[in-house]
A and B are shown apart, each in its own frame.
Chain A
Amino acid sequence: MAGAWETVIGLETHVQLRTVSKMFCGCSAAFGAPPNTNVCPVCLGLPGALPVPNEHALQLAVRAALGLGCTVHPRSVFARKNYFYPDLPKGYQISQFEQPLATAGSLSYLSPDRGIATATIQRLHVEEDAGKSLHDRFPKQTAIDLNRCGVPLIEIVTGPDFRSPHEARTYLLTLKQVLEYAAISDCDMEKGSLRVDANVSVRRVGETMLGTKTEVKNINSFAYVEKALTVERDRQIAVLEGGGTLAPQTMLYDSKTNGVRPQRSKEESHDYRYFPDPDLPPLVLTEQFIAEQQTLLPELPAKKRERFVEKYALSVTDAAVLTADRNVADYYEAVVHAGADAKTAANWVMTEVLADAKDHADGLRVAAGALANLIGLVRGGTLSHQAAKRVFAEVAERGGEPRNVAEALGLVQVADTGVLSGWVSDVLGAHTSEVMRYKQGETKLLQFFVGQVMKASRGKADPKLAQRVLEEKLAP
């Protein structure tokens, strides 16, 4: 019976925190340094070295937890997750287990199928990243780069709340937006600063028990999230419809073939032997520390979107576009505060500004004040909308004050009736037959005359004024 399956997905997202130094030592946490250069006795796990928590990482983790509406626990415990792997130099990862930093949060996102949906955040905990094993650097050998070892991470675990791969992806993009807004992480999947594992199961519609789940790993780009989950969902349904049963196993996604394969059993099923890390006292956060992080949290996308709708009378869609990126939202508000009409400013930002930003890595190139001035010039009749777009491009490219640029380009509309009268007389003199027809009642020719005046003025004439002068001169 096709179509009778329901998909159930939960996500575990690892996010690297945007700190200068690592979680438990002073080494740089920067991405892309030559292999094994950002290392010290602590992150190399040398005999006798000890971890000391990075306060900035804790601040960011608490901000993330608050931003996701979690309860931040005043006391949490670092625990060791024990397993052997060459890129894990201590033989354990410092993480949190029984008493995580935060629990019981939620994140609302716009489901493509269900409208506003809410994902529950079961827990958010702090841990350190492992190093990297490079299997393709030297033939038949594995190279280890420990630069990433000890980079601060948070793990954000949702409930089994998503009902489609598309929903999972939408949640992830919403999460990314929140974390980027609060400057908690770069959330760059390609660089590995955001990584996601998914628990996937299917069940018959109406069934309340969860089906056997598999964990999908190795999804290393936003583009693949939906594909990987769809492939796994379809595989599960095919197995079940073929009368088979599913094994609770880890599946690795391969983006080249768009397929999944089970992880070799040798690679999985660890008993991690978690226990509280005796090198680190329980993490005790004061009320004041937590409250301070709350005040340092910016207005988050959902709130901002609501406020934009209310304050600037924008549509939900427009508000969503403007608030997708914090810089764009701030820019938009700056344009409005500099005196531009909210609706017009929104149109400008959504079209010219975003188009320009998309093509140029240097971001928002026209200062908010300049754009407000430009909008003012159009509103005041100094520039036509078309001319303003040219001015915008020019300012973006070479800078300058819109009015000066417009003048330099000769785009300022001429509103001097004396000058206009000259152009009007020229036009009427050159089109005597049309003047005759107009006077015989063919008044729609007025627009033709306006066009001719614009042409004669090479676009500089103020069209409204030109029309008025024409009407006067053509009056019986």
Chain B
Amino acid sequence: MSDPSEALASAKAAADRIVNVKRLNACLTPIKELRKSLAAQASTAHPSGVLYGMPVAVKDNICTLEFTTSCGSKILEGYRSPYDATAAAKLKAAGALIAGKTNCDEFGMGSSTEHSAYGRTLHPFDKTRVPGGSSGGSAALVAAGAVPAALGSETGGSVRQPASLCGVVGIKPTYGRVSRYGLVAFGSSLDQIGVLGRSVHDAARVLSVISGRDPKDSTCEDRDSLRLPNVPESLQGFVIGVPKEYFPQDLDAAVRRACDRAIRLLRELGAAVREVSLPHTAYAVATYYIIAPAEASSNLARYDGARYGPRFNGSEDVRALYRTTRGDGFGPEVRRRVLVGTYVLSSGYYDAYYRKAQQMRALIAQDFRNVFDRGVDLLFTPTTPTPAFKAGEKLNDPVAMYLSDIFTVTANIAGLPAISVPIGRIKGLPIGGQLIGQAFLEDEMLEAAYALERAVPAAEEA
């Protein structure tokens, strides 16, 4: 596609499809504004770009000039960034169209997209269920066929978990592969922008565009953008490890069946599959829920009502302004994590929590290196312990909610690339399988994902 009329047609069709799934509450951008912007973007998009005319929705915690960036929070209601996130700028430079901002758990804190100040997003196949989160809006829009791909962000699985629950592909690249500039920070040492796509290819080509060095982000690696691999004929020569800690006794039987089928298919494709052990896995969620809130408590300190965003009543002095703005502006999950994070960094507790968690983080990362050093190329695990759960089911039980990220947080803790690929249905609900790769070897991970995607009957019951 390189004809402006085709880009305009693509823009209009995307807007129509997004209107059609309005009931999901996946897109936060008002439809009139979205139509107008898409048309304007289509008329000025770069025709030579590799994504020319492709509509890509963007999670609401990634800054764009076109639309507001509220992060699913009241505290940033109506906030318009004066700059584009590097990922958004790269999308536009490649000719893609920013197809609105997608709903998410507030500041990315949540696993169900129920913690949004703008209402929950519905699962596209069952409105009583959640699409996962925090990038639930992006996952739902892709799953509903409104856009071929969408940007999400991950701190502990916020792309892969909703991808698994919605039956789409979700990629979290290596930490440092994609610039975080313009991604509103939650847990800076864990955050990465990821991509949700209809297929491995759709997700991968968007990832390729947004990846690569960025002088504005000191944690972004000085590397060229990711080169897309070819779809392999077989997986001959691949060694895929299956970590036993990810298949506990009490794992959901249907999830286990789906995984077993996927593992059998990987074998049939020529991969050598062997059981491996990542002994510190049990500590991953606890480690995550110290480090992420600690960083969040500091990252979210800037939302004080003094410079931007709404101010809430009772701002007679500056302390009162902080109290009411932060008390009323943040939702309960954000307040919980800010409190936890403030606590674990406090003098007298830092050593017991934050420092210990950093030590555990190093051990978890070392687990992965040990396995990879012994000739394993990739790991295969379930992405989530269950398919999409009911709305409200875990809302009052934060720990149960946190455990839905149990298989995904480790890749964030270790900074590794990982992808969730649909591997079947459980009573009609999608479930994903996860491949975890070695740092900056996304190409190998994508090759295996291509082969698995092609082989697995994802629409069939496991």
Contact = CB atoms under 8 A, between A and B. Distances in A.
A248 to B, nearest CB: 16
A5 interface: no
B324 interface: no
A89 B81 CA distance: 16
Interface string B387-398: 000000000000
B218 A82 contact: no
B189 A90 contact: no
B380 interface: no
Interface in A410-443: none
A49 B342 CA distance: 22
Interface string B284-324: 00000000001101101110101110000000001000100
Interface stretch (B4-12, B177-185, B242-250): B177-185
A82 to B, nearest CB: 5
Contact of B82 (A41, A82, A84, A271): A41
B125 interface: no
A274 B298 CA distance: 10
Q: Which of under 10, 10 to 19, 20 to 34, or 35 or more describes the interface residues of B?
A: 35 or more
B192 interface: no
A275 interface: yes
Contact of A273 (B182, B188, B346): B346
Nearest to B343: A273
B71 interface: yes
Contact of A92 (B181, B189, B298, B342): B298
B141 interface: no
B301 A91 contact: yes
Contact of B302 (A50, A52, A91, A279): A91
A53 interface: yes
Given A47-B76, A49-B181, A50-B218, A89 B307 contact: yes
Interface in A251-302: 271, 273-275, 278-281
Interface string A82-123: 101010011110000000000000000000000000000000
B431 interface: no
A46 B82 contact: yes
B350 A45 contact: no
Contacts of B69: 47-48
B218 A48 contact: no
Interface string A317-348: 00000000000000000000000000000000
A82 B85 contact: no
Contact of A84 (B63, B218, B304): B304
A326 B359 CA distance: 50
A48 B185 contact: yes
A33 B163 CA distance: 50
Nearest to A41: B83
Nearest to A92: B298
B237 interface: no
A173 interface: no
B354 interface: yes
Contacts of A46: 81-83, 308
B312 to A, nearest CB: 16
Contacts of B347: 271, 273
A48 B298 contact: no
Contacts of B85: 48
B182 A48 contact: yes
A48 B322 contact: no
Given A46-B82, A278-B189, A278-B295, A92 B218 contact: no
A81 B300 CA distance: 14
B359 to A, nearest CB: 13
B81 A273 contact: no
A47 B215 contact: no
A251 to B, nearest CB: 23
Interface of A: 41, 44-53, 80, 82, 84, 86, 89-92, 142, 144, 271, 273-275, 278-281
21 contacts: A41-B81, A47-B76, A48-B62, A48-B69, A51-B218, A52-B216, A52-B218, A80-B298, A82-B297, A84-B304, A92-B301, A142-B318, A144-B306, A274-B345, A275-B298, A275-B345, A278-B219, A278-B295, A279-B188, A280-B218, A281-B218
Nearest 10 Cβ contacts at the A-B interface: A91-B301, A278-B189, A278-B188, A273-B345, A48-B182, A47-B184, A48-B63, A48-B184, A91-B302, A45-B302
Given A91-B301, A142-B318, 13 more contacts: A41-B83, A46-B81, A46-B83, A47-B184, A48-B181, A49-B83, A49-B181, A49-B182, A82-B298, A89-B307, A90-B302, A275-B345, A278-B295
Interface of B: 62-63, 69, 71, 76, 79, 81-83, 85, 180-185, 187-189, 215-219, 294-295, 297-298, 300-302, 304, 306-308, 318, 322, 342, 345-347, 350, 354
